[in-house]
Structure formats: structure tokens, C-alpha cells
């Protein structure tokens, strides 16, 4: 995997003039439902029809998928519409059944990605396949674990690989069901630019009204495609009802999305960008200079605490700083989410400087 040139971008073979799209219901519920949605999507930008056959649920008692019979429905949908078919696999047994039923696209879900033993079993079962195999990010923001899954599949001789960014679980209350943590996916994209990167706005948002917003943000970051849960009757879906859109809504999303050029092609654009980026470079250098000065003050505070035998962590003071910075940041057009993340990092670094002083 260290040789990025060995990565194969299978998307080129689709010869698309628009982003790659996987769409269909969260769960296959009935044969009639699967066929109805597939037919509504066949004359659109959708290349792959998806439906969950096995549904890993966080807690027992919920609908966990129709199982193997659903693969027969997908085969029928493929025969009638010509769309490629895709589904999630979590075990070696799932993989065998999917291959036997000629499923075109398989992906490893977030919970499975978090288990290297399960990923290895899947890799061994799919060894050498020419099917498209995608791997979702793990539930926790762990780049090494995500890359490890890709590497296990690649080592099994699977060349048609890609990744799905579905966001990361968090205890924090945010507007997202799973926070994007865009920087992690961007870092992966920078490491392996030929590895197709697909956004899953359904699981990131958990809210159909935010699908367009998050998908547009992903396309602005040069993502290659999207996987969007689509249902003919979302409000009565058997799973994840709130995050599914109708086929008509999906088609409107395609119309509303703006696909940007990778780069500008005029001298005026280049000159403007050069000046603005030079300005950014100066500001970044100033930020680092200020942060360095702040940490020197933090070390001095650590010395005062050491002399007075006072604990490093002062929760009341930290809460005061955080509330103040959120308020001031809002006045400058900065989101609360960004300010909290930024100052949590600064606070942690300050604690580290103080601890080194106390323990010296």
C-alpha cells in the first residue's frame, strides 16, 4: 500500500460526467419495495442500487434485515433495470452468499471495520475478487484502523477498492448523527489520491433535510461520489426512516448539487489565489507564534502551581474560558463546534506543558 501508484481507480471505467452514485433503501423490506425503488432510480445518475440485507443494530430487538432472500430480490432488480447491485457484508458467510448471487459492490460497515479479525476473514473470503469492495470508516475516529482495513483487503489481491466516509460516533451533542471529522477523510485522500472516496451523508446527518448540504460540502472537497439512502415511503421505512429520501427528492438533489472544477484555468484566477494563499501563510505563521507564546505563559502558570502545590486541572477556569471563547468566536463568524474543538486542543496542550513543569 505504500506505493500509491499501485492503487487502481476503477471509477474511470464508468466514464461518468457526474459524481458516482449509490442509492437505494437502508433495508430491503419486501420484493415489491426493492423492485419499485430500483425502477424509479434506473433512469437517473444512480450507477449502483443498494439495499441492506443484513442490518447490524446497536441494540437487540430491532429489524436486522430479511437475510439471504433479499439477495434474490436484488438479482431480479438487476435483471429488470440493468443497475449494478450493492449491499453491506459483515461476515465471511455474507460474502460467500453475496458472491454466489453476483452482487457487484460489497462494503464493510463501520462496526465491522472496527474489528480487524472480522475484516481479515472478509478479505480472505473475497481474495482476488474483481468485485468493487468498499470499506466504511470505523465508528471511532481512528485513521490507522481505517487504513488497516484497506490494507487487509488490498493484501488479499482485491484491486477495485474504495472508502466510504460515514462520520464518527460521539457523545457530544451536535447537529450531526455522526460528526464528519472531515480532516481524517481528507488526510486519507491525500495519502491515496487514486482510492475513490465516497460520502455517506445519510449516516453523517441522520436527517434527510441535511443531505444536500453535506453532500455539497463533500463534493467541494473533491469526493468522488455519494451513497444516499433512498426509499419510496421514507416515513414508514423499517429502519433509519429519518435519514432516507424519496427517489424524486434524490433526483432534485442531483440537480441542485454544484460540481466544482479541480482547479481554475485562467491567469486571473491563479494570480488571485497566489496572493490569497500568501496571506494565509502569513496568518498561519502568526497563529503559531501566538500559540507558542501562550504555551510559554502556560508553563509559567505551571511553575506557580508547582510552588504552591496546586493541581494542574482547574475545571472552573476552563469552563469560563470555553464559554467566553464561544461567545467571542460567534462575533467573528466562527461556529461553536469549531471553537470548542480548537480550545480543547489548546487546553490539552497547556495541561501538557504544565505537567512537564510539575514533574521536572
Determine the Cα–Cα distance for residues 180 and 161; give it in Å rounded to an integer. 21
Question: Where in the chain is CATH 1.20.59.10?
Answer: 267-358
| Contact present, 247 and 42 (Cβ < 8 Å) | no
User: Do the Cβ atoms of 335 and 326 come closer than 8 Å?
Assistant: no
Are 201 and 228 in contact by the 8 Å Cβ rule? The answer is yes
pLDDT digits (tens, 9 = 90+) for 257-312: 998 877 777 888 888 888 888 889 989 999 999 999 999 999 999 999 989 998 88
CA atoms within 13 A on the CB side of 317: 8
User: Is pLDDT of 129 > 60?
Assistant: yes
Interatomic CA distance for residues 111 and 96, integer angstroms? 19
User: What was the pLDDT predicted at 282?
Assistant: 87
Note the pLDDT tens digit of each residue in 195-229: 999 999 999 999 999 999 999 999 999 999 999 99
User: Which of residues 58 and 115 earns the better pLDDT score?
Assistant: 115
Stretch(es) of the chain classified as CATH 3.20.20.70? 4-256
pLDDT band at 2 (very low <50, low <70, confident <90, very high): low
pLDDT band for position 3 (cuts 50, 70, 90):
very low
Mean pLDDT for all residues in the chain: 92
Assigned C-alpha cell, 162: 474504495
Using the 8-state DSSP alphabet, how is residue 131 labeled?
Answer: S
| Per-residue pLDDT tens digits for 323-356 | 999 999 999 999 988 999 899 999 999 999 999 9
Q: Please give the grid coordinates belonging to residue 87.
A: 449491499
Q: Which fold has domain 267-358?
A: Chorismate Mutase Domain, subunit A (1.20.59)
- Measured between alpha carbons, how far is 289 from 241 in angstroms, rounded to an integer? 49
How open is the CA angle 68-61-76, to the nearest 5 degrees?
A: 20
Q: DSSP labels for 171-211?
A: SS--SSSSB--HHHHHHHHHH-TTS-EEE-HHHHHS-GGGH
| Topology given in CATH for the domain delimited by 4-256 | TIM Barrel (3.20.20)
Amino acid at each position: 500500500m505504500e506505493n500509491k501508484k499501485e492503487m487502481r481507480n476503477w471509477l474511470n471505467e464508468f466514464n461518468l460526467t457526474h459524481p458516482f452514485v449509490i442509492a437505494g433503501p437502508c433495508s430491503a423490506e419486501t420484493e415489491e419495495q426493492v423492485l419499485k425503488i430500483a425502477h424509479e432510480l434506473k433512469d437517473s445518475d444512480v450507477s449502483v442500487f443498494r439495499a441492506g440485507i443484513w442490518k447490524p443494530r446497536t441494540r437487540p430487538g430491532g429489524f436486522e434485515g430479511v437475510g439471504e432472500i433479499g439477495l434474490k430480490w436484488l438479482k431480479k432488480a438487476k435483471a429488470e433495470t440493468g443497475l449494478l447491485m450493492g449491499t453491506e457484508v459483515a461476515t465471511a458467510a455474507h460474502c460467500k452468499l453475496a458472491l454466489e448471487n453476483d452482487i457487484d459492490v460489497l462494503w464493510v460497515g463501520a462496526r465491522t471495520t472496527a474489528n480487524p479479525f472480522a475484516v481479515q476473514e472478509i478479505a480472505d473470503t473475497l481474495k482476488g475478487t474483481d468485485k468493487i469492495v468498499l470499506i466504511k470508516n470505523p465508528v471511532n475516529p481512528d485513521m490507522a484502523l481505517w487504513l488497516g482495513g484497506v490494507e487487509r483487503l488490498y493484501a488479499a489481491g482485491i484491486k477495485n477498492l474504495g472508502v466510504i466516509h460515514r462520520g464518527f460516533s460521539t457523545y457530544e451533542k451536535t447537529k450531526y448523527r455522526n460528526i464528519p471529522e472531515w480532516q481524517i477523510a481528507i488526510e486519507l485522500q491525500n495519502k491515496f489520491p487514486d482510492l475513490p472516496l465516497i460520502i455517506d451523508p445519510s449516516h453523517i446527518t441522520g436527517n434527510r433535510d441535511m443531505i444536500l448540504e453535506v453532500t455539497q460540502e463533500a463534493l467541494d472537497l473533491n469526493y468522488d461520489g455519494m451513497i444516499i439512502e433512498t426509499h419510496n415511503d421514507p416515513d414508514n421505512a423499517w429502519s433509519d426512516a429519518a435519514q432516507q429520501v424519496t427517489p424524486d427528492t434524490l433526483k432534485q438533489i442531483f440537480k441542485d448539487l454544484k460540481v466544482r472544477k479541480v482547479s481554475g484555468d485562467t491567469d486571473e484566477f491563479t494570480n488571485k489565489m497566489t496572493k490569497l494563499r500568501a496571506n494565509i501563510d502569513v496568518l498561519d505563521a502568526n497563529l503559531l507564534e501566538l500559540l507558542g507564546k501562550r504555551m510559554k505563559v502556560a508553563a509559567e502558570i505551571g511553575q506557580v502551581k508547582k510552588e504552591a502545590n496546586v493541581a494542574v486541572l482547574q475545571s472552573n477556569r476552563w469552563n469560563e474560558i470555553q464559554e467566553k471563547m464561544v461567545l467571542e468566536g460567534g462575533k467573528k463568524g466562527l461556529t461553536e463546534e469549531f471553537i470548542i474543538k480548537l480550545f480543547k486542543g489548546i487546553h490539552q496542550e497547556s495541561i501538557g506543558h504544565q505537567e512537564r513543569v510539575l514533574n521536572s
